[in-house]
């Protein structure tokens, strides 16, 4: 099957072919006709499935098919709103909008926190057809009366489960109340908790439903490996693995922001070019780290789960769990960054005695036993006693979906 049978305009097909896509992914095959038909959509899909193009392409088609004029004075209204959980994802989605829409006359904008609001206010004075936003900053604009959402025809909630995890439900409800009643709604979510179902029930009108396989959990293209090691030998082991295997473009996950900083410093001191990204870094620092990582000049990017969410790098070859996540589903999300769209990838975990229970939970969720390899010189002490795992700062209770808080939420907008 090719893209040309899906009903997209020639200008969009040209951009897709220039991007090098040969055929639509399963989610695209189903989502594109569904969105083109104008109805609501509930799609179960996570990053790595090609879901972004699955909604961006048909939105571009629908908007460019029918142009809208503004009042005699002033600009046309914003017609599509794409809400996403993180700043990085917003930047990536908007980049896709620009790329796939490069032969069209539609204008897009990213609206995210962590950067000065004034340039956004200035930008809003000129034409914006498609707005890609994180909820917190969007509401700041609403409050300052710099944003008019009364012309929205299409709403997308991307990674809706993550938005709820990050505590955005109230913000989302406030935003929904500002939109025109008649509109097309698209909801994308990797998981379907009761909370997501309730949100979908209230939002969607007789939606088409699409579910694509959780490719992360089943992807044969990803090879998993566990390196058992003592907790205080993790850093030298990681440096050794990166050097011995000559790994490049390694995305390393740590549990805490502080841990991310320390590890990046350690690796850099040991001759491995590394940077950390997390919610406490300025937007400029995060953008710089990401772009250096993308273009290959940065060897290792150390990230916390939330900062890494939605990082979209084609053919990311190595993901390292420097520490296992507290929630097994996060393992699936993390390794979702490797082996994208059919590429092969390697997911490596450094596991100390404290984490054996987490490892067992993960193996249960991914339904497979992960092969283990002990590196000579890093044999774990058989008599070591497990210690409780330190929670990320500010999280008294064990980490779970409900108390993970978002870098973009109220306090830090």
**Residues found near ligand AMP in the complex (CB under 6 A):** 21, 24-25, 28, 47-53, 312, 314, 340-341
3 state DSSP class of 388 = coil
Cα angle 289, 95, 278; round to 5: 30
CA distances from 75 to 79, 148, 161, 181, 324 (A): 12, 11, 34, 22, 50
Quote the CA–CA distance of 347 and 336 in Å, as a whole number.
9
Quote the CA–CA distance of 399 and 389 in Å, as a whole number.
11
Joined tokens for residue 167: 């505590």
Q: State which residue, 177 or 314, has the beta carbon closest to ligand AMP.
A: 314
Q: At its nearest, how many Å lie between ligand AMP and the CB of residue 48?
A: 5
Cβ-based neighbour number of residue 13 at 10 Å = 18
DSSP 255: S
Contact predicate 52/28, CB 8 Å: no
Q: At its nearest, how many Å lie between ligand AMP and the CB of residue 16?
A: 7
Q: At its nearest, how many Å lie between ligand AMP and the CB of residue 99?
A: 9
Contact predicate 131/80, CB 8 Å: yes
3 state DSSP class of 251 = strand
Q: At its nearest, how many Å lie between ligand AMP and the CB of residue 411?
A: 28
* Nearest Cα residue to 188 out of 156, 226, 164, 144: 156
Q: At its nearest, how many Å lie between ligand AMP and the CB of residue 316?
A: 9
The neighbouring-strand residues paired with 202 are none
Q: State which residue, 96 or 254, has the beta carbon closest to ligand AMP.
A: 96
Quote the CA–CA distance of 298 and 291 in Å, as a whole number.
9
Q: State which residue, 21 or 247, has the beta carbon closest to ligand AMP.
A: 21
* Nearest Cα residue to 81 out of 149, 131, 25, 151: 131
Q: At its nearest, how many Å lie between ligand AMP and the CB of residue 159?
A: 10
Sequence-distant (≥ 6) Cβ neighbours of residue 139 within 8 angstroms? 171, 174, 175
3 state DSSP class of 118 = helix
3 state DSSP class of 144 = coil
Q: At its nearest, how many Å lie between ligand AMP and the CB of residue 161?
A: 15
CA distances from 388 to 231, 354, 385 (A): 12, 7, 10
Q: At its nearest, how many Å lie between ligand AMP and the CB of residue 248?
A: 18
Q: State which residue, 29 or 278, has the beta carbon closest to ligand AMP.
A: 29
Q: At its nearest, how many Å lie between ligand AMP and the CB of residue 197?
A: 22
């Amino acid at each position: 099957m090719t893209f040309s049978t899906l009903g997209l305009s020639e200008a969009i097909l040209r951009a897709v072919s220039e991007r090098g896509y040969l055929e639509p992914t399963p989610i695209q095959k189903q989502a594109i006709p569904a969105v083109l038909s104008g109805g609501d959509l509930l799609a179960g899909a996570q990053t790595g499935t090609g879901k972004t193009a699955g909604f961006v392409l048909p939105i571009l088609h629908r908007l460019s098919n029918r142009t809208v004029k503004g009042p005699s004075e002033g600009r046309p209204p914003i017609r599509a709103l794409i809400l996403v959980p993180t700043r990085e994802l917003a930047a990536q989605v908007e980049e896709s909008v620009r790329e796939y829409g490069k032969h069209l006359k539609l204008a897009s904008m990213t609206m995210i926190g962590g950067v000065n609001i004034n340039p956004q206010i200035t930008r809003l004075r000129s034409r914006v057809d498609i707005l890609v936003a994180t909820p917190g900053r969007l509401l700041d604009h609403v409050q300052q009366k710099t944003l008019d959402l009364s012309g929205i025809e299409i709403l997308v909630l991307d990674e809706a489960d993550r938005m709820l995890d990050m505590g955005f439900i109230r913000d989302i409800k406030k935003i929904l109340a500002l939109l025109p009643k008649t509109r097309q709604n698209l909801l994308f979510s990797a998981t379907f908790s009761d909370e997501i179902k309730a949100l979908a029930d209230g939002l969607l009108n007789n939606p088409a439903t699409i579910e694509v396989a959780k490719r992360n959990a089943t992807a044969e293209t990803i090879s998993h490996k566990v390196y058992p090691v003592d907790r205080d030998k993790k850093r030298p082991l990681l440096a050794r693995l990166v050097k011995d295997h000559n790994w490049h473009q390694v995305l390393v996950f740590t549990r805490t922001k502080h841990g991310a900083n320390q590890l990046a410093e350690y690796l850099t001191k040991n001759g491995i070019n590394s940077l950390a990204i997390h919610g406490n870094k300025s937007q400029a620092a995060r953008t710089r780290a990401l772009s250096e990582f993308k273009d290959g000049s940065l060897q290792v990017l150390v990230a916390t789960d939330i900062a890494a969410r939605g990082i979209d790098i084609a053919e990311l070859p190595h993901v390292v769990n420097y520490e296992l996540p507290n929630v097994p589903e996060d393992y699936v999300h993390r390794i979702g960054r490797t082996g994208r769209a059919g590429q092969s990838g390697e997911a490596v975990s450094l596991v100390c005695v404290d984490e054996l229970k987490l490892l067992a939970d993960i193996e249960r969720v991914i339904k497979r036993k992960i092969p283990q390899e002990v590196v000579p010189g890093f044999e774990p002490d058989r008599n070591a006693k497990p210690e409780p795992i330190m929670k990320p700062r500010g999280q008294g209770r064990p980490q779970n979906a409900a108390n993970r808080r978002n870098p973009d939420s109220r306090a830090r907008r």
